[in-house]
Amino acid sequence: EVQLLESGGGLVQPGGSLRLSCAASRFTLSSYDMSWVRQAPGKGLEWVSSISGSGGDTNYTDSVKGRFAISRDISKNTLFLQMNRLRADDTAIYYCARRQVIGAYAGGMDVWGLGTTVTVSS
């Protein structure tokens, strides 16, 4: 079964850093665009960052630009999100998600992990 499993969340003080990981099973990251999506407590979904299948294109929502960095290790089939200078409003469940590919069409996010919780607090 195709699967994503996030890890690396935890409690961190404001200004601190965390590195989230997302291990992919039964598919190859290099064949898909991947994203991180977060959900603050009691709030809706917010796209955070994406990386193309080739790895050559990365994008970020404005609030994390310059603080977060998306990357991947193809040999380990793992996606990462390096989060620096964390703020209280970064507190959320962080999901990794795969963008579906059907032939030449790239559509919605068809595979999601269970999420990992990041809490930024002193």
Partner 1 sequence: QSVLTQPPSVSGVPGQRVTISCTGSSSNIGAGYDVHWYQQLPGTAPKLLIYGNTDRPSGVPDRFYGSKSGSSASLAITGLQAEDEADYYCQSYDSSLGGYVFGAGTEVTV
Question: Where does this chain bind partner 1 (CB under 8 A)?
Answer: 35, 37, 44-47, 50, 59-62, 95, 97, 100, 105, 107-110, 112-115
- Residue in 92, 90, 112 with CA at minimum distance from that of residue 100: 112
Q: CA angle 22-27-33, nearest 5°?
A: 65
Shortest reach from residue 52's CB to partner 1, in Å: 13
Backbone angles phi, psi at 27, to 5 degrees: -155, 165
Shortest reach from residue 115's CB to partner 1, in Å: 6
**Do the Cβ atoms of 6 and 22 come closer than 8 Å?**
yes
Nearer to partner 1, 37 or 79 (CB): 37
- Sign of the dihedral through C-alpha 60, 61, 62, 64: negative
Shortest reach from residue 13's CB to partner 1, in Å: 27
Nearer to partner 1, 4 or 120 (CB): 4
* Beta bridge mates, 83: 18, 68
Nearer to partner 1, 53 or 115 (CB): 115
Nearer to partner 1, 30 or 63 (CB): 63
